[in-house]
Structure 1
Amino acid sequence: MTEFEPIAGKYFSFDLNGERYRIYVEQAGRGIPLLCLHTAGADSRQFRHLLTDPEVTERFHVFAFDLPWHGRSNPPEGWWLRRYRLTTESYVAIVHGVWRALGLARPVLLGCSMGGAIVLRLAAEYPDELTGVIGLEASAHSPGRYSEFLHHPAINGGELCASYTYGLNSPYSPEPSRRENWWIYSQSGPGVYQGDIHFYSNDWDGRDDLARIDTARCKVALLTGEYDYSCTPAMTEAVAHAVPGAHFQVMKRIGHFPMMENYPGFRPYLLDALRHVTQAVVR
């Protein structure tokens, strides 16, 4: 008999700022809502190991969605008439719109890289709508990452973005997992990775948000791989110092994509972070 993974995928639509978004989401488990945010230029396939981890899904109802323009989510109508550019404002609105459209009551947000950055703003803006946030490879400011070569007519964008991000994996992570992440990145739409990096490197500056985060109302956990040279452990440690009560750990022998490149190595840190952000939650 064929053994199916316990992941259910569905599409839903919602309206935001006069546009209609058709979103793909995968889910598994039951309990506290856990909403996962993928990295720049990728999609929710990065969370497949987490979605099939019974120790997580027996306590958490896990959701992982593809942002518009990413993976299996469509861009809004008329996308061909403009250049894709993610901004802090639009990113906050989309994530907030998704958890409200899904009817998630006080979810935990887990985001990596640009997703790890935006959860800091969301924790500052919506502390009473959230249980907590987990920032993987989370920085408050990451200038210098943007390049016009990330979307150039003379360059194969899929291979460039995939190979560029491949170098952010730890050399200790299993080769098949690093290559799987490469494959996901190679399938990004033209200009999507560059449009995300516009947010992450040009538009994003969350340093003033950190003082507004109240960990008595919204718990914060921060995890960064010791081999991440895009968001270094020191960058995340600076965030932790600015957010009293934040839980911070450096993940040994791990790079920029912990949930994808080395889930077994990431898992103990993840379980600790989940315990931290839900320790005061009564269900």
Structure 2
Amino acid sequence: MVITQGIVRSFTAAGDGPADVVLSGTEESWEKTLSAVPPPYHVNVLSFSSGVVVKGEVVDTVGPFAPAILRFGQLLRELHSGPPVSEPVDSGDPWPETDNAVGRYVRVKVHGVTYRVYYEEAGHGSIPLLLQATAGTDSRQWRNVLANPELQKRFRMIAFDLPYHGKSLPPADGFPWWESEYAVSKEDLMDRVVAISDAIGLDRPIFMGCSVGGQLATDLAAHHGSKFRALVSINGWYESSALTSIRNYLFHHPRIWPEYFGAFVMAATSPVAPEVLRRETYWIYSSGGPGVYRGDNDYMSLGHDLREDGHLIDTTVSPLWVLAGEYDPTAREGVQGGARAIADNIDGAHYRVLEGLGHFMMSDDPVGFCAQITPILDEVVADLSARQTAGLAGS
């Protein structure tokens, strides 16, 4: 492939000789993956379910050069379908006039260890809305949601950084955290969220989380439902056996830099989201603490299974909304244990597929996300009001 100033000038097949990385797929899968606006699950050659297979030594070539493979797929798409539609240069900052979140720290003690936890707050509504980021990341993912003027009118929004994430450093109270790798159990995560909510002084907030946060929403509903007015699970799984093939150890390998999973994240963003915010999502994922993404993913793929405790969720106590992005694998028809399975197996759970949105919807397409989440949250509040009128426990 001859590239001049970022434009593919020519491409010649290399034949059947040896190659470090081989991309292969059926004609149908290539046609979908290289279309100008690819359909769900075919966003890029690195998408897990695109039908295009990337073969090569992960440690030697695929991992270190994942960003180049991602770019290669984008160039192939431009060669096949033309240049992408350009986005406005300011599309990464949709509400600058109300971008007024205030950051604070609070001391949180969990299992005998004290953490200095960072959180950002915006909005002047009477109902607290607690926002949980995806695996390995932090409150930066919610920055544009915090700036949304309509949500500011309705809620007191709090986006926090779990310990070891973002501005919440490892504990500084003498606990020797450096003697072991970062690892968290379901109980660790649940207890930290509850402790953070209590330390900030929130009165039964609505909890909304994405990906790992989406699974955490359902686990909190099962074990701490009375602590929350309602819970919103975004792109979470009912059970994660479909994810066990993901080799999490590669997300903290000494010969693979963080851009490896940054590239996979970029491949999971929505193809109709602004390029600048897709890149921002990539940047956030490439700047996490050592091993934190892998540790969170271990919970996501190994430590969560509602087949074991989903029966503990009482939606009359903790109303549950289950959301999946159109471009997210959890929404795929027939996928084992996806978001649809949560609604199918939990009595009273509400289910929605959000059109045009992907796995990192609040981060890569906040305008599209806020347009669809605002009426859903209005529905949540209306349901809580109706419950209160009827005297139900979930009010």
> What residue is the counterpart of 2:293 in the other structure?
193
1:207 is paired with a residue of what secondary structure?
helix
Deviations 1:34-62 (A, max 9, x none): 00000001111100111011111111100
2:284 is paired with a residue of what secondary structure?
helix
> What residue is the counterpart of 2:326 in the other structure?
226
What is the distance in 1 between the residues matched to 2:186 and 2:381?
Answer: 26
* Structure 2 CA distance for partners of 1:82 and 1:101, relative to 1, 3 Å: same
Shift of residue 110 of structure 1? 0.4
1:92 aligns with 2:221: no
Residue correspondence of structure 1 range 67-216 to structure 2 within 5 A: 67-76=162-171, 77-142=175-240, 143-144=243-244, 145-156=246-257, 158-216=258-316
Q: Which has the higher contact order (CA 8 A, sep 6+)?
A: 1
Moved more, 41-50 or 3-12: 3-12
Shift of residue 27 of structure 1? 0.2
What is the distance in 1 between the residues matched to 2:228 and 2:98?
Answer: 32
Shift of residue 276 of structure 1? 2.7
What is the distance in 1 between the residues matched to 2:147 and 2:97?
Answer: 13
1:71 is paired with a residue of what secondary structure?
coil
Match of 2:161 among 66, 80, 84: 66
TM-score computed with the length of structure 1 as normaliser = 0.94
Listed as ranges, the gaps of 5+ residues in structure 2 are 1-95, 389-394
Does the 8 A contact of 2:105 with 2:119 survive in 1?
A: yes
* Structure 2 CA distance for partners of 1:146 and 1:232, relative to 1, 3 Å: farther
2:306 is paired with a residue of what secondary structure?
coil
Shift of residue 215 of structure 1? 1.7
1:20 is paired with a residue of what secondary structure?
strand
> What residue is the counterpart of 1:247 in the other structure?
350
Q: Which has the larger radius of gyration?
A: 2
Does the 8 A contact of 1:34 with 1:62 survive in 2?
A: yes
Does the 8 A contact of 2:184 with 2:295 survive in 1?
A: yes
Partner letter of residue 191 of structure 1? G
Moved more, 3-12 or 47-56: 3-12
2:352 is paired with a residue of what secondary structure?
strand
Structure 1 vs Structure 2: percent identity of aligned residues? 38
RMSD (Å) for aligned C-alpha atoms: 1.7
TM-score computed with the length of structure 2 as normaliser = 0.68
Listed as ranges, the gaps of 5+ residues in structure 1 are none
Shift of residue 256 of structure 1? 0.2
Does the 8 A contact of 2:327 with 2:358 survive in 1?
A: yes
Deviations 1:134-154 (A, max 9, x none): 111011222323432111111
